[in-house]
Amino acid sequence: MRGYFAMGAEGISKSRNLGNLMRSAHAFGASWVFTVDAMHEEKELRQADTSGTEGSVPLYNFDNLDAMMLPKGCALVGIELTDDAIELPSFRHPRRAAYVLGPERASLSAPMVERCDLIVKIPTKFCVNVAIAGAIVMYDRVKQLGNFPAPPVSPYGKVDAAPEHIHGQPVLRRAGWKKK
C-alpha cells in the first residue's frame, strides 16, 4: 500500500481509550499516532496498549491545535457525526492522511473542524467508542487501499486472485485466469 496515515484524537481524556487506539493503529500500520490537547496516564496507557506501540510507532502529543504539525501534503481528516460529513462507505481515502477523532462524550472542536480538509462519518445511529471508531476507519482504509481482490458476487462465490501490479498500477486477474 502506497502512502501513509496517522491516527489521532483531540481532547481524549481516558488513557485506556488512547491505549486501545494506539494498539489498533499499530496493528493497521499507522506511521504515527498523535493527540491534541489530551490528558493521559502512562501506566493506564501501557496497560491498554499491550502491543507496545511506542516502541514501534511514534506518539506525538500536541498541547493545542496551534502546535499540531503535519507533513506537507498530508490531508487532515476529521471523523465526526455531522449532517454534511461524507459517509465512510462512500469516502475515498487520501494516500497521505492524518485522521483525528473527538474526545469521549464530545465532538471535535470547531477550530479542529475548520482545520480539517475533509470530515467523514461512520454511518451509525449514535457515536461509538473513540478507539472503536478509529479501528473502523483504519479497517476501511486498509480494505480500500490494500491489494485485495474484489469480493465474490455471492457469499459462496470464488474469490478472485490478488491483483498483480504493472508499473505501480493494480491489474486484476479473474479466478481461473491463466497466463499464456
CATH superfamily of 4-145: SPOUT methyltransferase, trefoil knot domain (3.40.1280.10)
pLDDT tens for residues 129-160? Answer: 899 999 999 999 999 998 888 888 888 877 76
What residue ranges do the domains of the chain occupy?
A: 4-145
C-alpha cell read off for 159: 474469490
Please choose, from the candidates 166, 136, 100, 119, the residue with its C-alpha nearest in 3D space to the C-alpha of residue 24.
136
pLDDT tens for residues 54-82? Answer: 788 999 999 999 999 999 999 999 999 88
CB 126 within 8 A of CB 33: no
C-alpha cell read off for 3: 502512502
- Distance, in Å, from the CA atom of 43 to the CA atom of 105, rounded to the nearest integer, reads 23
What is the reported pLDDT for 5? 96
- Distance, in Å, from the CA atom of 52 to the CA atom of 108, rounded to the nearest integer, reads 27
What's the pTM value of the predicted model, to 2 decimals? 0.83
